[in-house]
Structure 1
């Protein structure tokens, strides 16, 4: 391939032999744009590599990592060899509508934007479909700003989490600002990348029509929010604040997000102590952060709905007493 494609799809795949071809086919079926698909196999233990290698289309390139690097590492490996003017992240068990990239690129070009996001179509296991966001709501928000994005990612309180959107980036913007996924995160790496891009002055347009299709799979609850996940997110947010100059509105939103992460950590600590019968430790945690008690009093199902309001994992997992699901459904499906 010598011509530079309009779009590079980066698909991080781990044990995705049963779904990755569907994802690749949807990317190759884009209308009105030239595409390449980079599939990064993150040391799968199933036949993912062989399935992808058997695809004869020259637009598909396979990168086989020698060891598991996690979602951020796998996607970064794809970004390193991406050639397209635009880069789109596609989870290995999702699909995209045929006109998605042409529509997003056209909207971004008209607005002089470097980033574009759109609505999501959620396909349940029974085939039923719902929209993650009301189109009327997104029509009113033609641009996604940093304060609005951070505010939508405040745990427990956000009505609409824009972190579930799948952004499309101008590759030159990512290169210019040295932006990559945070490989220290197994949950929330998507959030930090888009927040960093917005903080670096990226202009992000919002397309109300759903072009990304999220496929719910029954019985998958592989991304449960644990204390070490929250701790990593807190540290990543701290680096984000140090590395970027935030305006007053973004700073206020970040304070609310930080408080929510601290509350989540306290809540998970409290649940852990109660499960282990460590009542004294549970009491100390409750005294130190009374908000943890408030979340504990909520029924489990309601608490999960608050954690992932409108989110993908709640639709997939339902209630789980073991922990609180935050986003995504596997090592390479994530939302911040």
Structure 2
């Protein structure tokens, strides 16, 4: 399990951030500023942003340093060696002050009203875990990725509909939740863990983020991604037959979503 100590508002120790944004970055120099600007442009301003440089070999650290210098809400954490997205995210989560934990990768971005709309939605429905629709962009082309209004553990096993760039969880409901240390699909594994405890996650069907399909990104390596999904199913305790069935459904869903 990846559950750490319980969290309460008092743990913030006077910090003004309600939302902690977690952004791992590895060789993200071409896109990092776009992602950070989408956070800085949020209509809700009570956030902090952790950029975790995962031992990049390009100008990621220099760009992040400049961005952090320009906005005191931005913090740069540097990994001494490349450790992967799960460890990078977990380092930031462990230092976060906010009640809500939100995720954004360095090559994606949010629409300006994302945090304001989603946090208000979570407060209204009492959601411990929420997600939204998003756009998938390939160059100049965009395609909307639709999501259901809610999902439970059984439905999520049939395919991950929670885009990491849209997910937010409530630490007052769940405590501090770290991502399983998997090379891929660690976000999917975390959502499944959470939904063993919550009856469902709640979704906003409005697209509030943009996933940019980046050549060479981890998610574009399809065979590795399928193998990682299989590992998640086995980690959930599924036998080979059940895992094979879920993986088939998962791949069909991803094909349908483009």
TM-score w.r.t. structure 2 length? 0.82
Aligned partners of 1:5 and 1:83 also within 8 Å: yes
Q: Which structure is higher in RCO with an 8 Å CA cutoff and minimum separation 6?
A: 2
Residue number in structure 1 paired with 2:236: 240
Aligned partners of 1:174 and 1:180 also within 8 Å: no
Q: In the TM superposition, what is the alpha-carbon distance from 1:52 to its structure 2 partner?
A: 0.5
Q: In the TM superposition, what is the alpha-carbon distance from 1:150 to its structure 2 partner?
A: 1.3
Q: In the TM superposition, what is the alpha-carbon distance from 1:171 to its structure 2 partner?
A: 2.5
2:220 is equivalent to residue 220 of structure 1: no
Q: In the TM superposition, what is the alpha-carbon distance from 1:81 to its structure 2 partner?
A: 0.8
Residue number in structure 1 paired with 2:169: 169
2:97 is equivalent to residue 83 of structure 1: yes
2:48 is equivalent to residue 40 of structure 1: no
Q: In the TM superposition, what is the alpha-carbon distance from 1:172 to its structure 2 partner?
A: 3.0
Residue number in structure 2 paired with 1:292: none
Distance 2:46 2:172 in 1: 17
CA distance change for structure 1 residues 224 and 181 in 2, over 3 Å: closer, same or farther? same
- Max Rg structure: 1
Higher helix share: 1
- Map residues 1-336 of structure 1 onto 2, 5 A cutoff: 2-55=14-67, 56-125=70-139, 127-133=140-146, 138=147, 141-151=148-158, 153=159, 161-164=160-163, 166-175=166-175, 179-183=177-181, 185-201=182-198, 203-217=200-214, 219-220=215-216, 222=218, 223-226=220-223, 230=227, 233-241=229-237, 258-260=243-245, 306=252, 308-311=254-257
Deviations 1:190-232 (A, max 9, x none): 1110111111126421101000111233x436542447972x5
Structure 1: runs of 5+ lacking an equivalent = 154-160, 242-250, 265-304, 316-336
Aligned partners of 2:103 and 2:167 also within 8 Å: yes
Q: In the TM superposition, what is the alpha-carbon distance from 1:25 to its structure 2 partner?
A: 1.1
TM-score w.r.t. structure 1 length? 0.64
Higher strand share: 2
Q: How many residues align?
A: 242
Aligned partners of 1:7 and 1:34 also within 8 Å: yes
Structure 2: runs of 5+ lacking an equivalent = 1-12
Backbone CA RMSD of aligned residues: 2.9
Deviations 1:61-107 (A, max 9, x none): 00000011111111111111111111111010110011111111111
SS in 2 for 1:84: coil
